[in-house]
Structure 1
Amino acid sequence: MSIGGDGGYGDERGIAGAGSGGRGRARTRTRLPEDDVVDAYEEPRRGPVRVGRSMMTVVGVVVLLIAALAFANRGGGDGSSGTGGPDAENRARPTAPTGERPVTTGTDGVPTGFPRTEQGAQSAAANYTVALGGTGMFDTERRHQLVDTLYTPEAAARIKGPQDEAYSAEFFERLGLDERGRAPEGMTFVSRAIPVGTKVTEYGDDSATVEVWYTSLIGMAGEESTLPVTTTWKTWTFDLRWTGSDWKIADDSQEDGPAPVPGDDRASTAEDISKAVEEYGGFTYAR
């Protein structure tokens, strides 16, 4: 910036002095780096201290990092242990992970051996949703195996008959399956449940009621399919009982929703869906 509004290139006084027979001396101004201009014959004037842009950038980054760390520590504990501290359960939001590790054991391909806690009950309900919403339920032998594994003995004996009637040849035909629940050659039958969140509505030492909000994929992927793969949104409620070593389903029910507004994503081809189902595996869910 200049002093006196002359753009830093001198003024009329300096020009007159140079042309007065040598009696006057030309006065010049020198442009220095960083836009600081100093008059060679006047005491330099001290302006306000200014912070450079680079310094402001550093300060801004530091502030953002501090804010991010504070937000992370508020939601997930100090990270010093798997449980996140004694009050991690109170700090966790309803749909946020609590930090509990998923189980490492399983029975017949289904995660089992969940702890006798509210979190354990929620993890059990989420994983049971995945198992009971998969293609295994369309095979009679596999369905009976899943029911025996996940339900109490009393509940398993009660629901096997009605389920066998529900998974009938007529039902399979409407889905494009054969009488044994298999997809035609060249097509892929898709049935997957994906938990979105869990909630405990009741809890006791030997019982728990857990709601699982989930979305599912259902349909036939293939060029000649008359039932393309679509999504649904439901809430599955489980009445769980502690059997001494794990949570088992004593009763369950479903209702529609909550369903979000559908997006405007372009639907993929049947080939892309079939490839995705074959290549992308599932997860073990832990609350």
Structure 2
Amino acid sequence: MSLGDEHDGFGGVGGSGQTRTRLPEGNSGDVYGGARRPVRSSRSLITVVGVVVLLIAAIAFANRGEGDPADAAAPSSGTPGKTAPTAATGIRPVTGKNGQLPTGFAHTDQGAQSAATNYAVALGSAEMFQTSTRNEIVQAVYTPAAVTARQGDLNKVYADKGFLSRIGLQEDGTTPQGLTFISRVIPVGSKVESYADDRATVSVWYSSLFGLAGEGSKNPVSEAWYTSSYELQWVNGDWKVTDFSQKDGPVPVGRDQRASTAQEMADAVGQFGGFTYAR
């Protein structure tokens, strides 16, 4: 509602400052005009119509086809050094999947952000601790050259008995009986550090849940905050990781909340699924 509309409601005309006199509409003797016309009814009708129009527009947006011109016309949000909104833009984030991982990211800075964010989730997942699923993730996320260079080292790290023992897993990477292993990355936002036609550097800020949920766990699920920077390359029609680095924070102040029980945490990881993230 405009300022002019508000002024009308109090007797002005379109904000012009003129005064409108209302004549009595009956013989009730009411000096203010008796039964005044209900102003709210017309406004309520306009509100309902507006909601319906917005709903139709939302449905049309959700169901638009692959060739929607809005995909190509969406504005860029990844200018280095500039604040970008956290809401998804009009560019369709992905066009397919490679196993359980999204693939087919847009060849734009926004597509690079979507790729880095989804890859952060995959690389921080519990599936990285199993050989078969880890190999699938690495081959889907990294460039072919990086896979060749890193696959062996990654397998050594995740198969290291000392490492597995420290985090509470068994020597073969499986979870001890009666416990639930949780490793999840929850992205908060992303930003483009640099961008070129076939190269991009994207930082992803996220929280991480990690540990073993269950009675008697010596490594209970805890929360941590990190920022990872991903070096991306456009290869074979998609963004792939060539390298990445990680640092702590930014870390928010924790609230005074009661920690959930081991069973509540174990139930949550099985009941709540993940998302495909998009800029």
In which range does the TM-score fall when normalised by the shorter chain? 0.7 to 0.9
Residue in 1 that maps onto 2:109: 118
Query: Cα–Cα, structure 1 residues 217 and 83, in superposed 2: closer, same or farther, change >3 Å?
Result: farther
Residue in 2 that maps onto 1:176: 168
Note the 1:87-98 alignment, pairs <5 A: 88-89=74-75, 93-98=84-89
Counterpart check, 1:148 vs 2:139 = yes
Counterpart check, 1:224 vs 2:210 = no
Q: Which runs of 5+ in 2 are unaligned?
A: 1-27, 79-83
Which of the two has higher C-alpha Rg?
A: 1
Match of 1:127 among 115, 118, 121: 118
Following superposition, the deviation at residue 174 of structure 1 comes to 1.1
Following superposition, the deviation at residue 185 of structure 1 comes to 0.7
Query: Cα–Cα, structure 1 residues 57 and 111, in superposed 2: closer, same or farther, change >3 Å?
Result: same
CA distance in 1, matches of 2:200, 2:149: 20
Residue in 2 that maps onto 1:41: none
| CA shift digits 1:151-191 (9 cap, x unpaired) | 11222222234333432111111111001111111110000
Code of the aligned partner of 1:246: D
SS at match of 1:89: coil
Residue in 1 that maps onto 2:234: 242
Code of the aligned partner of 2:176: P
- Identity across aligned pairs (percent)? 45
Residue in 2 that maps onto 1:10: none
Code of the aligned partner of 1:237: S
C-alpha RMSD of matched pairs (Å): 3.4
Code of the aligned partner of 2:236: G
Q: Which moved more, 1:141-150 or 1:113-122?
A: 141-150
SS at match of 2:171: coil
Query: Cα–Cα, structure 1 residues 57 and 244, in superposed 2: closer, same or farther, change >3 Å?
Result: same
Residue in 2 that maps onto 1:22: none
The two structures have a TM-score, normalised by structure 2, of 0.73
| CA shift digits 1:85-131 (9 cap, x unpaired) | 87642689431210333424222321112121112111111111111
Moved over 4 A (4+): 46-52, 54-63, 78-88, 90-93
Query: Cα–Cα, structure 1 residues 222 and 60, in superposed 2: closer, same or farther, change >3 Å?
Result: same
Note the 1:17-32 alignment, pairs <5 A: none
CA distance in 2, matches of 1:84, 1:264: 44
Residue in 2 that maps onto 1:157: 148
| CA shift digits 1:192-238 (9 cap, x unpaired) | 11111111121111111111111111000011101111111111111
Query: Cα–Cα, structure 1 residues 202 and 275, in superposed 2: closer, same or farther, change >3 Å?
Result: same
Following superposition, the deviation at residue 145 of structure 1 comes to 2.7
Code of the aligned partner of 2:268: A
Match of 2:130 among 130, 136, 139: 139
Tell whether the 8 Å contact from 1:220 to 1:229 is kept in structure 2 after alignment.
Answer: yes
Tell whether the 8 Å contact from 2:77 to 2:85 is kept in structure 1 after alignment.
Answer: no
Tell whether the 8 Å contact from 1:220 to 1:228 is kept in structure 2 after alignment.
Answer: yes
The two structures have a TM-score, normalised by structure 1, of 0.71
CA distance in 1, matches of 2:214, 2:251: 26
CA distance in 1, matches of 2:235, 2:194: 17
CA distance in 1, matches of 2:183, 2:93: 23
